[in-house]
Structure 1
Amino acid sequence: MSSSSRTKPNRVEQIKAESHFLAGTIHDDLSSDAPTFGKDNLQLLKFHGTYQQDDRDARVSLRRQGKDKAFSMMVRCRIPGGRLTSQQFLAHLDLCDLLGNSTMKITTRQTIQLHGIVKQDLRQTIATINSLGLSTFAACGDVNRNVMCCPAKKCSPVHQAIEQLTNNLAEELAPRTTTYRELWVLDDTTGERHLVEEHSATREMSDTTEPLYGPTYLPRKFKCAVISPDDNCVDVYTQDLGFIAIVQDAHVVGYNIVVGGGMGTTPSNAATFPALAQPMAFCLPEQAIDVAKAVLIVQRDHGNRSDRKVARMKYLIANWGLPKFRTAVEDVLGYSLESPREVVIRQTDDHMGWQSQGDGLWSYGLNIENGRVSDGKTVHLKNALRQLAEFHQEEIRLSANQSLIFCNIPSDKREQFDSILQESQVRSTEKTSLVRRHSLACVALPTCGLAVTEAERRLPLVMDQLEAVLQSLELDRSQFTIRMTGCPNGCARPYTADVALVGKAVDRYTLFVGGTLRGDRLAFLLKDIVASEDIVAELTSLFVAFRNHRLNDETLGDFCHRLGSETLLSLCHQSRESEDFTTALSAKGSL
C-alpha cells in the first residue's frame, strides 16, 4: 500500500473518482445558457484540453458596473513533436479570428492555445480541431500531456527514430475513455455527435475503460520528451520522463531514461521545489514504450493524492530515492534495466533561420516573440504567416521556444519567403537579436488565473532596452537565456535559464541566475525582490560584471555558477559604481 493511499484524497481526486471517466455533468453545462461551467466540471474540462478564464484587465470595470467577470475558455491542442500540416495551421488562424480573440499562442510545449472562446462556441471549436486530424484531449489534466521532440526537419535515421518514438508515446500513453468523443466530436459519416448518456451515473465503469490510468488517472500532470544527444532544444531535464537517444554508427541503439524533472514550486511551501530529471536506466528501442508505461504506473499507484502541491513525480522520487523508484519500475516491467550509458548533451539549437534538411531542401525558423501570433498596427505577423502557409503548403513545426519552422523549402523559394516577411514588416530571424531569440515568457496576465504579475506583455519591452545595453557592452553575440514568468509555477521553464525573472507579487520578481542554455543545471536565487522598473538596471549590473570578470569564452550561466550568489552580488554592486554601467544603462533608450 502506498503512503498516499493511507491519507484522505484531495477534492480533485474525489471529483475524478465520481466523474465516470471524465464525463461529470459537462454535457448538462454545455446545454445551459449560463456563461460558466460548474466548479467540479472545471477540473474535468482540463482533461479535455480547455480551461475557464476571465479577462483580469476588465475585472474592476465590470465590478463597478455590477457585472460578472468576462469569462471565456482557453483551448489547447495536443500536437506531438509540434508537427502540423500547413492546412492545420491555417485552420487555427481561422479559428482564432472566428471564435477566439483574434490571437494565437504558440506554447513552450510545442502546441497551440486559442484564447477568448466563449462557452457557447466551445463545442464548435473543439469539434473543428478534431476535424483537422488533431485533438485537444489530454493536452491538460492529470495525464501524460503533449509529448515533446526536437522539431528540426532532418533526414537522418536518428531523427526518424526519435520522431517515431514521440508518436508512439503520444498514442500509447493517451487516455482511452470514450467521453471525449461523445462530448465533442462529430461522427464522420452522419455528422451527428455521440452524446454522453443523460445520466452519467449509469455509465458502466470497469478497469478496461482506462487500463493504464484507472478511474482517477494520475495524481498530477505528467510530461515527457525525446531528444537526440546533440541537441536539448526541448529541455528534457525539466520533464517527468525523458528519453535521450544513444547513437552508434548514426543509428539509435537505445535510450537513456531520465525521470523526475519539473519546474513548478510554491515559495511559501518549503516542501516544493524545481527539479531536474535524473538518469535512471538504459533501455533498448523496443522496450521504451513499456518503460514509459511502467514509470507512469508507479507514479499512478504511489504519487501523493492528498496534497496536489507535492503530487508531481519529482516528489515521489525525492521521498523514495532513485534506487527505490527504479526497483519499483522494474517490478512493474518484470525485468531489470541496464545502467544509463555515458552521454554528453553538447548543445541547444533553436533551429531558427535557414537550415539545411540534408535532402536538398531547407527549413526556415521564424522567431515568434513569446509565441503570440497577432496583427498590430504596423507589423502584420498573422497576415504574413497566412501568406507563407498558403504560398508554401508544406509541413510547419512548432519549437519549444514558441516559434515556427517552415519545412521542405526548395532553394528557389527562399527569396519569396524573405519578401513576404519584409512586406508585412515582420522582423526576420536574421534581424532578431540572440537575446530576444532565446527569451521566453508565459501568458501571465490578463488571462492566466495563477499569474501575480506581467510576463508576456512585459518581456518585449525589457528586451528592447537590453538589446541596446548588450550592444553597448559588446555582448550582443553572446548566447544565453532570459525567461520571465508571471508566477512561480514555471511554465516558461525559468529555473534552468541563465537569467530568469519569476513573478513574486504585482510588478515584483525574484531574480534567478546560473542555469544553462543546455538546460542541465538549475539556476539559483540571486535577489528575492526586483521591482519591474529596476529590471534593466539589475541585469545591466550583472552584464557589466560578466563582461569584466568572465574567463575566456565562459557563458553567462557558467560565470554566475562559478562565482555564487555572495561574490556575484558584490561584483554587481561594484558594477553599479563604474562608468561602464552608466554608459551601458544610458544606451537602453538609444536604439
Structure 2
Amino acid sequence: MSHTLPEAEIIKRESNYLRGTIAKGLDDKATGAIADSDNKLTKFHGAYQQDDRDRRDERRRQRLEPLHMFMVRLRLPGGVLTPEQWLGLDQIADDCANHTLRLTTRQTFQFHGVYKHRMRPLMRALNALGLDTRGACGDVNRNVVSNVNPHRSRVHADIHRYSVAISKRLKWRSNAYAEIWLGDERVEARGEDEEEEPFYGHFYLPRKFKIALAVPPENDADVLSNDIALIAIVEDDELVGFNVGVGGGMGMTYGNEATHPRLADVAGFVPADQVVDACEAIAAIQRDHGCRTERTHARFKYTIADHGVEWFLERFAEYHGAPMAPVRDYVFTHNGDRFGWVEGDNGNQHLTLSIRSGRVQDTDALRLRTALREIARVHTGEFRVTCNQNLIIANVSPEKKAEIQTLVDHYGLDDGSRSTPLARNAMSCVAFPTCALAMAESERYLPSLTDRLDTLMAGHGLANTPINVRVTGCPNGCARPYLAEIGLTGKTLGKYNLFLGGDQRGERMNRLYRENIDEATILSLLDPLFERFAAERNNGEGFGDFLIRSGLVDAERSPEVFHRAYAV
C-alpha cells in the first residue's frame, strides 16, 4: 500500500476544522458549484454537490455548466421526529428543494434539487425546527439507526434514548457548522491547547462510520451491516445490555478484489450503561488504527479483517478501561417491516406505511405528500422512519386511531390491497438523475422490475410470497443489496450484477450469480429458480434459504466471490 496520504486526508487536515472556503463558495454567484475541495468538506455538513444528469448533454450543447445542485441529508438518530417537525420539513421541500422528501435506508430524510443559493435558508429552517445535518455524511460517525420494534414500547424507548446519546457523543463539534450555515461569529478556542474537535482532532476518521441498534428477534436495521452492531439483550422486559458486533459494512469497488462487503463479527457484551462509552472507544480504535493511506481500504471492516477480533478485544479493553464480557444468546427472525396497525405494550397504536423507495411526493396515482401533511396536522404522537424506507405513524392514542385511519382510507395509503409482499419490501437507492456515482437506474427502475418479478412469481403460484429484493445503481451498497435474497447492483445503463442467496434475517450475505446482464437475462435466470422454489421449498422456507439448501448458491464461497460470478 502507498504511504502517501490521499487527497481527501490532506483536505480534511488543512480545512481548519471543516471550514475550507465553503462560505466563500456559497457567496460566488458566477457558478452554481463550489470548489472540488469544498465539495469533499460539505459532506461532513450533510450535503453532496450533484447535478441533473438527465440534462448534462443538453446543457453541454448550450455551452452551459452542469445544472449543479445539492442533496442535503439530516442527522436524525433513531429516525424520530414530531408532527410539527414533519410539517416543517414538508414546507422546506417547497421552499428550498424539489417538492419531495425522501426517506433513506438509514432512518433519515434527504432533500434533493437544492440550488446553492437555497442552502443557507434550508439549513436555517432546519435549525429552527431543532434539526441539523452535521455528520449525516463525511468521514465521521453517521446517523445512528435503531430498531423501530413498536411491540415493546419500554425497551423501544430505551433504544431510542441510547441512539440519541451515541449520536450526541460522536457528533463533530467544530463551530464551522454554525459559522457557515447559521451566520454565527467565529468562536476561538478558549485555551492554547484546547481543540475544536476533542475527539476527532483535525484529521477526523479514515472513512465513514456507522452504528446501528437492534432488538431481537427483529433486525429491521440490518444491524450486522454496520461498523458497530449493537444487539439488545432483554431480560424480564428490561434492557440489560448489548452484544457488540464490529466490522460490518456494505460497498465495494468493481474489479478490486481487495474490497468487499462484510458482516460484523459479534465480539462480546457490554452493559447498557456502558454502551455510549463503548461506542466512543471503538470509534477511537478506528480513528487511531484505521488505514489512511488507501481510501478503498479505510473502512473499519478492513481494520477488523486485517487485525482480527482478538486484536480488537485487546484494544477495546485498553481504550475502554474494561474488557467485554462473553457474547450472550440471541435470535433474529426477520429483517423487514411489519405493515399495518400494531399495538404497543403501553396501549398506543403504531401504523407502518409502505413508502416505495422512500419517496414522499404527490403523483396523479397517489397524493402521498398531501396525505402525510394532513395526518401530521392531527397526529399527537410522532413519526418514525424505518431503515427500510418506510414510515411509522407512531404512538397513536386509541381515541386518535379512527381519525388517522379515516385519512389513510381517504388517500389510499395502506397499499396492502394494491401491492404485493415483494413490492412492499423492495428497496432502492436514488441513482439517476442526481447521484454522481450511479452507473444504472435504481429508484426509477424498481417499480417496473418488481412488476415483472411479480408476474413471474404469480405464474408459479408465488404471488403472496415475500422475497427480499434490493437494487442499487452502483456497487456502493446504499440499499444494502448484498443482504438481499435478490440483489442487483448497476454496472452500466440497463445492466446489473445479479446477487442471490441472502436471508430474511440480515445474517447472511448473498453471492454474485451473474455479472453485467440485462433485464431479459435476469428474468430468464430467475424464472426456473422460482419454479424450483415453488415445487421444492420446505414449509416456511425463504427463497434465499432455499437457494442455499438446494446448493444453487454456495454460502461458503469466500469474500472475493463478490467479484466472480458462478460459471455459466
Task: Give the TM-score category using the shorter length.
Answer: over 0.9
Q: Given that residues 78 and 163 in structure 2 are in contact (C-alpha distance below 8 angstroms), is that contact kept between their aligned partners in structure 1?
A: yes
Task: Give the 3-state SS of the residue equivalent to 1:36 in structure 2.
Answer: coil
Other-structure match for 2:7? 11
Q: Matched residues in 2 for 1:133 and 1:429: separation?
A: 34
2:381 to 394, 397, 402: 394
Seen in structure 2, the aligned counterparts of structure 1 residues 299 and 567 have a Cα distance that, compared at 3 Å, is closer
2:253 to 266, 271, 280: 266
**TM-score by structure 1 length?**
0.90
Q: Matched residues in 1 for 2:297 and 2:191: separation?
A: 32
Q: Given that residues 229 and 343 in structure 1 are in contact (C-alpha distance below 8 angstroms), is that contact kept between their aligned partners in structure 2?
A: yes
1:410 positional shift? 3.5
After superposition, residues 157-168 of structure 1 pair within 5 angstroms as: 157-168=154-165
Identity of aligned residues (%): 38
Q: Matched residues in 2 for 1:537 and 1:416: separation?
A: 47
Other-structure match for 1:331? 318
1:413 positional shift? 4.0
2:426 to 435, 439, 458: 439
Other-structure match for 1:118? 115
Other-structure match for 1:25? 21
Task: Give the 3-state SS of the residue equivalent to 1:225 in structure 2.
Answer: strand
Other-structure match for 2:130? 133
Q: Matched residues in 2 for 1:150 and 1:327: separation?
A: 29
2:36 pairs with 1:39: yes
Q: Given that residues 179 and 186 in structure 2 are in contact (C-alpha distance below 8 angstroms), is that contact kept between their aligned partners in structure 1?
A: yes
Q: Matched residues in 1 for 2:449 and 2:233: separation?
A: 40
After superposition, residues 137-152 of structure 1 pair within 5 angstroms as: 137-152=134-149
Q: Matched residues in 2 for 1:207 and 1:467: separation?
A: 60
Q: Matched residues in 1 for 2:424 and 2:174: separation?
A: 40
1:470 to 441, 457, 473: 457
2:548 pairs with 1:561: yes
After superposition, residues 243-282 of structure 1 pair within 5 angstroms as: 243-282=230-269
1:86 to 60, 66, 83: 83
Other-structure match for 2:45? 48
Other-structure match for 1:178? 175
Q: Matched residues in 2 for 1:567 and 1:300: separation?
A: 36
Structure 2: which 5+ residue stretches go unaligned?
Answer: 556-568
Q: Matched residues in 2 for 1:156 and 1:96: separation?
A: 31
Task: Give the 3-state SS of the residue equivalent to 2:364 in structure 1.
Answer: coil
Q: Matched residues in 1 for 2:398 and 2:240: separation?
A: 34
Q: Matched residues in 1 for 2:206 and 2:434: separation?
A: 25
Q: Which amino acid letter does the alignment assign opposite residue 119 of structure 2?
A: L
1:467 positional shift? 2.4
Other-structure match for 1:62? 59
Q: Which amino acid letter does the alignment assign opposite residue 235 of structure 2?
A: Q
1:224 positional shift? 0.3
Q: Matched residues in 1 for 2:13 and 2:266: separation?
A: 33
Task: Give the 3-state SS of the residue equivalent to 1:538 in structure 2.
Answer: helix
1:258 positional shift? 0.2
Q: Matched residues in 2 for 1:132 and 1:363: separation?
A: 24
Seen in structure 2, the aligned counterparts of structure 1 residues 13 and 551 have a Cα distance that, compared at 3 Å, is same
Other-structure match for 2:70? 73
1:445 positional shift? 0.5
2:96 pairs with 1:109: no
Q: Matched residues in 1 for 2:406 and 2:503: separation?
A: 35
Q: Given that residues 355 and 364 in structure 1 are in contact (C-alpha distance below 8 angstroms), is that contact kept between their aligned partners in structure 2?
A: yes
1:552 to 539, 545, 550: 539
Seen in structure 2, the aligned counterparts of structure 1 residues 517 and 401 have a Cα distance that, compared at 3 Å, is same
Provide Cα deviations, 1:109-147, integer angstroms capped at 9, x if missing partner. Answer: 000000001000100001111110111000000000100
2:484 pairs with 1:488: no
Q: Matched residues in 1 for 2:554 and 2:318: separation?
A: 47
CA RMSD of aligned residues (A): 2.1
Identify which range, 546-555 or 457-466, moves more after superposition.
546-555
Q: Matched residues in 2 for 1:518 and 1:263: separation?
A: 16
Q: Given that residues 380 and 396 in structure 2 are in contact (C-alpha distance below 8 angstroms), is that contact kept between their aligned partners in structure 1?
A: no
Q: Which amino acid letter does the alignment assign opposite residue 156 of structure 2?
A: H
Q: Matched residues in 1 for 2:553 and 2:362: separation?
A: 45
Q: Which runs of 4+ in 1 moved over 6 A?
A: 202-205
Q: Which amino acid letter does the alignment assign opposite residue 390 of structure 1?
A: R
Other-structure match for 1:587? none
Q: Given that residues 207 and 214 in structure 1 are in contact (C-alpha distance below 8 angstroms), is that contact kept between their aligned partners in structure 2?
A: no
Other-structure match for 1:189? none
Other-structure match for 2:392? 405
1:154 positional shift? 4.4
Other-structure match for 2:566? none
Identify which range, 144-153 or 548-557, moves more after superposition.
548-557
Provide Cα deviations, 1:490-527, integer angstroms capped at 9, x if missing partner. Answer: 00001011110111122111111111111000101111
Task: Give the 3-state SS of the residue equivalent to 1:255 in structure 2.
Answer: strand
Q: Matched residues in 2 for 1:126 and 1:396: separation?
A: 21
1:351 positional shift? 3.1
Seen in structure 2, the aligned counterparts of structure 1 residues 543 and 207 have a Cα distance that, compared at 3 Å, is farther
Task: Give the 3-state SS of the residue equivalent to 1:47 in structure 2.
Answer: coil
1:409 positional shift? 2.1
Provide Cα deviations, 1:536-571, integer angstroms capped at 9, x if missing partner. Answer: 343333211211222333211111122334799xxx
Provide Cα deviations, 1:245-274, integer angstroms capped at 9, x if missing partner. Answer: 112111122211000000110121111000
Seen in structure 2, the aligned counterparts of structure 1 residues 372 and 204 have a Cα distance that, compared at 3 Å, is farther
Provide Cα deviations, 1:151-185, integer angstroms capped at 9, x if missing partner. Answer: 24445432222222111101111112111112212
Task: Give the 3-state SS of the residue equivalent to 1:93 in structure 2.
Answer: helix
Other-structure match for 1:232? 219
Identify which range, 144-153 or 423-432, moves more after superposition.
423-432
2:282 pairs with 1:303: no
Other-structure match for 1:584? none
Seen in structure 2, the aligned counterparts of structure 1 residues 429 and 416 have a Cα distance that, compared at 3 Å, is farther
Q: Which amino acid letter does the alignment assign opposite residue 52 of structure 1?
A: Q
1:99 to 86, 96, 101: 96
Structure 1: which 5+ residue stretches go unaligned?
Answer: 186-192, 569-591
Task: Give the 3-state SS of the residue equivalent to 2:461 in structure 1.
Answer: coil
Other-structure match for 2:443? 456
Q: Given that residues 370 and 440 in structure 1 are in contact (C-alpha distance below 8 angstroms), is that contact kept between their aligned partners in structure 2?
A: yes
Q: Matched residues in 2 for 1:142 and 1:558: separation?
A: 36
Identify which range, 14-23 or 359-368, moves more after superposition.
359-368
2:184 pairs with 1:194: yes
Q: Given that residues 378 and 425 in structure 1 are in contact (C-alpha distance below 8 angstroms), is that contact kept between their aligned partners in structure 2?
A: no
Q: Given that residues 249 and 262 in structure 2 are in contact (C-alpha distance below 8 angstroms), is that contact kept between their aligned partners in structure 1?
A: yes
Other-structure match for 2:491? 504
Identify which range, 541-550 or 480-489, moves more after superposition.
541-550
Q: Matched residues in 2 for 1:352 and 1:94: separation?
A: 27
Q: Matched residues in 2 for 1:498 and 1:402: separation?
A: 18
**TM-score by structure 2 length?**
0.93
Other-structure match for 2:303? 316
1:284 positional shift? 1.1
Task: Give the 3-state SS of the residue equivalent to 2:550 in structure 1.
Answer: helix
Task: Give the 3-state SS of the residue equivalent to 1:520 in structure 2.
Answer: coil
Q: Which amino acid letter does the alignment assign opposite residue 255 of structure 2?
A: S
Q: Given that residues 80 and 148 in structure 1 are in contact (C-alpha distance below 8 angstroms), is that contact kept between their aligned partners in structure 2?
A: yes
Provide Cα deviations, 1:67-123, integer angstroms capped at 9, x if missing partner. Answer: 111110111001111001011111111111121111111000000000001000100
Q: Matched residues in 2 for 1:552 and 1:311: separation?
A: 43
Q: Given that residues 526 and 565 in structure 1 are in contact (C-alpha distance below 8 angstroms), is that contact kept between their aligned partners in structure 2?
A: no
Q: Matched residues in 2 for 1:47 and 1:226: separation?
A: 23
Task: Give the 3-state SS of the residue equivalent to 2:551 in structure 1.
Answer: helix
Q: Given that residues 55 and 71 in structure 1 are in contact (C-alpha distance below 8 angstroms), is that contact kept between their aligned partners in structure 2?
A: yes
Q: Given that residues 52 and 72 in structure 1 are in contact (C-alpha distance below 8 angstroms), is that contact kept between their aligned partners in structure 2?
A: yes
